[in-house]
Structure 1
Amino acid sequence: MSDSRHHGHDHHGDHQHDESCRALAARLSEYLDGELPEDLAQDVDSHFQACQRCEEFVESLERVRRLGAVVPTPKPSPARRTALVNGLRDRVEHEGGERVADPGWDEAPLDDLADGTNLAD
């Protein structure tokens, strides 16, 4: 079921190729975010030309990422938000984290987590 681009061979069980797949997986996030240097991105592209399994895996990840980008993040009710913030604060303090006096620093990340805000933005 492979096309001619993949030369009709399957790499399952090929130790060298499996190592190449693992190396690619370690850089996959950088690749998908366009953060890999040009030469490494070309290596990943070349790998996809030879490995249908990896190519299909990455295509499925890209579909999931696109779907995730269009699905709105639900906002919790005020009561649920308060419970989430308090739970996060308690957990941080329980695990030895220190409370920061400045609420702009201490509360904002907890508020963002409780609201479902993407902190990476």
Structure 2
Amino acid sequence: MTKGAHIMTRVTFISADGERRQEVDGPAGSILLEVAQAAGQPLEGTCEGQMACSTCHVIVDAADFARLPRASEDEEDMLDLAAAATRTSRLSCQIVLDPALDSLTVRIPGEFNNMQGM
């Protein structure tokens, strides 16, 4: 790798119905929500990453979940409000891509609740 080259992290998005897969390379240090939105994934991110909603909720593949840093208490509180949350749910605005997360797989939930302003 040449000096100054951008390190990319591959992410696979799976649609809510499990039918469509999209592989995307995001630069290390980028936020998963931004990479997903740039790829046209249906993640709203209403609060723009301020952890005031759960509209960027994703379900991380069980095999990949342990590679993520632990969710903060604030993130876990927001996930408690997310529709269809699972034990491997995370807010994509809180996942920073790095080489250790290469080949991360996430599923886009079929529904979400916007708890902002409630």
**What range describes the TM-score normalised by the shorter chain of this pair?**
under 0.3
TM-score by length of structure 2 reads 0.23
Considering fraction of residues, name the structure with more strand: 2
Normalization by structure 1: what TM-score?
0.23
| Larger proportion of helix | 1
